[in-house]
Each structure stands twice: as C-alpha cells, then as structure tokens.
C-alpha cells in the first residue's frame, strides 16, 4: 500500500497542477482620441475665408482643421502656405513660403454672417468673411 501511495502521490499532485489554462490577458485596443479641430482665436472654424484688405484687394485663405493654411490671390495663385495656430489669444500664421513673414492677428467677435475684423501685429486691419459656397455649374449639352 505504501508503494502504491508513493507511486500515486506524484500523479495526484501533477493532476492538481493541470488546471485549465487561464486565457491570456489581451489588451483591448483603445481608440486614439481625434485631436480637436482647430478654431481661430475668436472661435471661427477651419474653412475657406475671403480676406479684404483696406485697399479692396480680396484674397482667399483656406484654414484646415489640421493646422495648415493656404493663401491665394484673386487669380487663384498661391501666395503663401504654412501652419496656423492660436498663440496668446491671437491667430498666428507661420509660412513655409520663402519671403513671407510670420504674422499674428487679433480678431474681433464674429458677426451674425460669420465675418470679423482681423488686426495684424503691424499693418492695417482686414475684413474676413466665410467664402460663399461654390455653386455647381450645369454641364453644357
């Protein structure tokens, strides 16, 4: 009997150790939160804006939610591009275009039509308004 116990003991102990395998902990992928879309210092959203200078010159600025911008003249020629961000309560542009200087603007609150005045650190204020939506043209028949 003693021999039987000695032979059975290791088998019993081994049997106790063979518990079902615990499922491995798997990491649940966590969604990376989307960065908040940038807004200008006065809360205006990214988008396309018409900018009218004191002399009446109209240019277009496209502000993208990822913090890049493009300025074009009335003929559609790109005059500046780079990045934009709100710094110390001002909307600031850092161009990557050679010869164009960085500039920050203090903005008024927006009017009911979305327009506002942007006053640069140096120079004359400009009037900024959301660009009208492009209207599709009918195809020629």
Task: Convert the pLDDT of each residue in 89-115 to its tens digit.
Answer: 999 999 999 999 999 999 999 999 999
- By residue range, what is the domain housing residue 117? 47-129
Mean pLDDT of the chain: 82
The values of phi and psi at residue 71, to 5°, are -105, 135
Whichever domain contains 63, its CATH number is 2.40.128.540
Number of domains in the chain: 1
**3, part of any domain:** no
Q: What is the pLDDT of residues 18-68, one digit of tens each?
A: 555 555 555 555 555 555 678 999 999 999 999 999 999 999 999 999 999
**14, part of any domain:** no
Residue 128's DSSP bridge partners are: 51, 116
**139, part of any domain:** no
**27, part of any domain:** no
| Nearest of 93, 91, 94, 81 to residue 116 by alpha carbon | 91
- Cα–Cα distance measured from residue 25 to residue 80, given in angstroms and rounded to the nearest whole number: 52
Q: 17 vs 72, which has greater pLDDT?
A: 72
**102, part of any domain:** yes
């Amino acid at each position: 009997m003693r021999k039987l116990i000695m032979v059975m003991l290791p088998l019993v102990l081994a049997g106790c150790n063979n518990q079902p395998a615990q499922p491995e902990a798997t990491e649940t992928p966590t969604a990376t939160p989307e960065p908040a879309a940038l807004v200008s210092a006065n809360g205006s959203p990214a988008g396309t804006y018409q900018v009218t200078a004191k002399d009446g010159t109209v240019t277009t600025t496209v502000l993208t939610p990822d913090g890049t911008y493009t300025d074009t003249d009335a003929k559609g020629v790109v005059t500046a591009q780079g990045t934009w961000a709100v710094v110390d309560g001002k909307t600031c542009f850092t161009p990557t275009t050679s010869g164009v200087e960085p500039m920050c603007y203090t903005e008024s609150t927006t009017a009911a039509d979305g327009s506002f005045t942007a006053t640069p650190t140096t120079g004359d204020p400009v009037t900024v308004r959301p660009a009208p939506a492009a209207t599709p043209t009918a195809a020629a028949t």
